[in-house]
Structure 1
Amino acid sequence: MANLINSLLLLLTFIHTLCLAHSPTLREIHSFPNGTWIENITVRPNGNLLVAVLSTAELWEIDPSIPSGSGSAHLIHHFDGAEDADGITELSPHIYAVIASNSVWTINLREHELSKPILITKLSAGSLNGIAALDEGNAVAITDSQLGLIWRLDLQTGSYNVIHQDETMAANNDMGLLLGVNGLKIVNDYMYYSNTPKRILCRVRIDTHTGRALGPYEVISNDTRADDFAIGPHGVGYLAGIIDDVVIRVFPNGYHEVIAGSEGSTDLMTATSAALGRTQKDRNVLYITTGGETNLPVHSTSTRGGKVMALSLEF
C-alpha cells in the first residue's frame, strides 16, 4: 500500500510539474503612473507596442524587449484639446489611425518620414471606441459604444456613414454608463466585435471594401465580458475581461475559459485590450493593457496605474 501511495504521489507531482510547464506565464512590460487608464494597443512590425492612454489623450510607444522602468516607453503624441485617446489600428506598415475624443487622426511612424498626426475629421457620434482598417487602409470601421452601431469613415474624403446597427451591438446602462458594441477586429472577411454589458463576442462576414454585411450577425460566445480583444490562429479569441480582471480564451465553437487573472487581480485589474506579438521572438505572446484602479468606470480609487502585461501562450 505504501508503495502504491508513493507511486501515486510521484505521478501527481509529475502531472503538476507538467501543467506548470505548460501554463501561461504573465509578466509586466511597463507600468504607468497612478490613475492612468490604458485603453488600446497595437503591435508594430518591428515588435514595438503602441498604446492609447485614455486618461491623458496620448499615444505612447513601448519596446517590450527593454525591462520596465529602463526607458522602454516614450511619448509619441499628446492630442491637444482631446479628453481621451481610444482605438488604434494599422492602415499599412507604420501608418496608423487613432481615435481621440470622437476625432480620427492618421500618423506616419516610418523612419525618416515621421510627422505630426493629421486630423481626418471629427464625427458627430456618440462615443467612438474600437477601430479597424477597411479597403486596404483607405477607410476604417469604428464602433460607437453609445449609439450601438458601427461607422465607416473614408480616410481620403472624411465622409462617414453607418454600416452596421444590430441588436447584438445595442447599448444599455447595465454597467453604470451607456455602453454597447466596443472592441473591433477585422480578420480576413469577418468583422469581430464585443458588446461589453451584454457579455457577448460576435462576428459578421463583410465586404472588406465597403464594410457592409454579407451574412448574418453571429454570436460566438455568451457570458464572456470583454472590452477589446485579439483574434489569434484558427479564429481563437483572446478577450480582455475589463472589470472581471481576466483574460478569456474563446474558441470558434463558443467554448471559453479564463487563462489568466481572476476577480480582483492586481496584474490584470481592468484589462482593456489585447494584441498578439508579430516578431519571431514573440509570436506566442499576448500583450494586454489595463486601466488599473481608476474611476473609469470601476474600483473608485487611483492607487494603481494602468499597465502593459505579456502573457505567454501555446498555439
Structure 2
Amino acid sequence: MYITFSLSTLLTWLNLLVHVAQAMSEPRLLTQFPPSVRIENLTILPNGTIVVCNAYTGDLYSINPLSGLSRRAPYLFASLAPYSSAIFGLASPSPDTIVATASNFSWDKGLVEPGSNVVQHVTLTEAGAKIKAFPIPSAAWLNGLIPVPHSPHYLLVADCVAGSLLRLDTRTGCVETVSSDPLFAPIPEPESDLLLGINGIHAQDGWLYFTNTNQGVYGRLAITPEGLAVGTPAEVVARGLNGSTFDDFALRRDGVAFLATGLGGPNGIEKITADGQGQMVASWEYGSPVISQPVSAVFGQAMKDRSTLYFATAGSYLGSNLTSTGGQLFSLKVKC
C-alpha cells in the first residue's frame, strides 16, 4: 500500500512537471541594448515589427523578430526629444500609427516635470515619422495607454499618480476623466517615493483591464463601446503571487493575461487566467543581470508566432544601486 501510494504521488508530480515544461520554454534573448537604454514599454505592429522605447531619451526603435539575426538589431526611427525626454506607454491604434505617453522625467527624483505630460501620435510614412503632440498639462504622470476597440480615435490613458483613467479624443484633442476608482489609486510604499497606481491597461470585450503596481492588483472596469465607464466599480481579478508588483502585460484573446513583474518583488512573468488563477510561468532572482526587471509583453501577430510572447526588460532596477545592463527583448514560447 505504501509503495503504491508513493508511486502514484511520484507519477502525479512527474505529470505536473511535464505539463509545466510543455506549457513554456526558456526565454530566448533577441536583442541586447547598451546600459544607456532603459526600456519601459513595447508594442507590436500588424506586420510583426516590435517597437520599443528608450525611457532615458525619448527615442523609438523598431525590431523585426522574424527576420534573420542581422536584422534583429534595433533601428532608431523616431525621437520625441526635446519635447519629451521619457516614454512610458506605447500602443498601435492602426498599422501605420504609434501612440506614446511621454514627459520630461527626473530619474534621480522619480518625478515628472509639472505640465510636461503629453500623448505623442506618430504616423509612419515613406518620408519618415510625422509626430503630433496632444499636451495634457493637468496630468500628474501618464503611463499606460490603449486605443478603444472599434473606436481607435479614442485613447484610454492611465495617470498612475492621480489614480485616474482618462480618455483622449485624437480628432479634437478633448480630454475627460473616465474614472478615478479607488483601485486605480497609488499607495505610498516604505523607503520609496514612487507613486505607481494604475499602470498597464488593455481593453477587450467590454472591459478595461489594468494593473496597479502599488496595490499589487490586476483588475478590470466595465466600459462602453466608446470607452466610458458603465458606472459599476472596478473589480479585482487577482492579486500578485508572493508579493508580485505588476507592471504592464499582454492580454490574449481568451482573456488570459501575462504580466511583467519585477519592481521590488518576484522578477518574471506571471500568468493570470480569466477567472483569476495565478501562476508564475517564468521567474528569476531579483537583481539578476541576465534578465533584469521585465516591464511589458506582447504576443506575435503572424501565424507562426502567435503563441510567442515577446517581453522587454528595463535593463536596470528602478530605485536600486544595482548595475545597469541595458534593456533587452526576449521571446518565450507559450503552448497553453
**TM-score normalized by structure 2?**
0.83
Q: Which amino acid aligns with 1:199?
A: G
Matched, 1:260 2:282: yes
Greater shift in the superposed pair: 230-239 or 62-71: 62-71
Matches within 5 A, 1:55-204: 55-66=56-67, 72-81=73-82, 82-101=84-103, 102-109=117-124, 112=126, 114-134=128-148, 136-174=151-189, 175-204=192-221
- Tell me what 1:233 maps to: 253
Asked if residue 271 in structure 1 is aligned to residue 262 in structure 2, the reply is: no
Q: Which piece of structure 1 moves more, 39-48 or 15-24?
A: 15-24
Kindly indicate whether residue 328 of structure 2 is the aligned counterpart of residue 307 of structure 1.
yes
Runs of 5+ unmatched residues, structure 1: none
Name the aligned partner's letter for residue 197 of structure 1: N
Q: In the alignment, which residue of structure 2 is the partner of 1:250?
A: 272
Q: Which deviates the most, 40-49 or 267-276?
A: 267-276
CA shift at 1:312, angstroms?
Answer: 0.7
Moved more, 112-121 or 212-221: 112-121
Q: Contact 1:291–1:305 at 8 Å: present in 2 too?
A: yes
1:91 positional shift: 1.5
**Given that residues 297 and 312 in structure 2 are in contact (C-alpha distance below 8 angstroms), is that contact kept between their aligned partners in structure 1?**
yes
Equivalent position amino acid for 2:225 in 1: T
Kindly tell me the number of residue pairs found equivalent between the two proteins. 306
In the alignment, is the contact (CA less than 8 A) between 1:30 and 1:68 conserved in 2?
A: no
In structure 2, the gaps of 5 or more residues are: 104-116
**Aligned counterpart, 2:304:** 281
Residues 203-237 of structure 1, C-alpha deviation per residue, up to 9 Å, x if partnerless? 01101314223533110001242100011132111
Distance between the aligned counterparts of 1:73 and 1:62, measured in 2? 5
Is the partner of 1:109 in helix, strand or coil? strand
- The one-letter code of the counterpart of 1:103 is V
CA distance in 1 between counterparts of 2:99 and 2:228 reads: 17
**Residues of 2 paired with 1:162 and 1:177: CA distance?**
23
Counterpart contact for 2:22–2:335, Cα < 8 Å = no
Paired amino acid for 2:331: A
The 2-side partners of 1:17 and 1:236 are apart by: 21
Q: Judging changes above 3 Å, is the alpha-carbon distance between structure 1 residues 18 and 137 closer, same or farther for their aligned structure 2 residues?
A: closer
SS at match of 2:303: coil
What SS does structure 1 have at the residue aligned with 2:183?
helix
Structure 2 counterpart of 1:190, one-letter code: W
Alignment partners' CA distance in 2, 1:280 and 1:60: 24
Cα distance, 1:18–1:121 mapped onto 2, change above 3 Å = closer
Letter in 2 for 1:131: L
SS in 2 for 1:184: strand
Fraction of identical pairs, as percent: 26
CA distance in 1, matches of 2:47, 2:71: 19
- Deviation, 1:119, is 1.5
CA distance in 2 between counterparts of 1:119 and 1:210 reads: 21
| Pair 1:227–1:17, CA change in 2 (3 A) | closer
Distance of aligned partners of 1:17 and 1:234 in 2 relative to their CA distance in 1, 3 Å threshold: closer
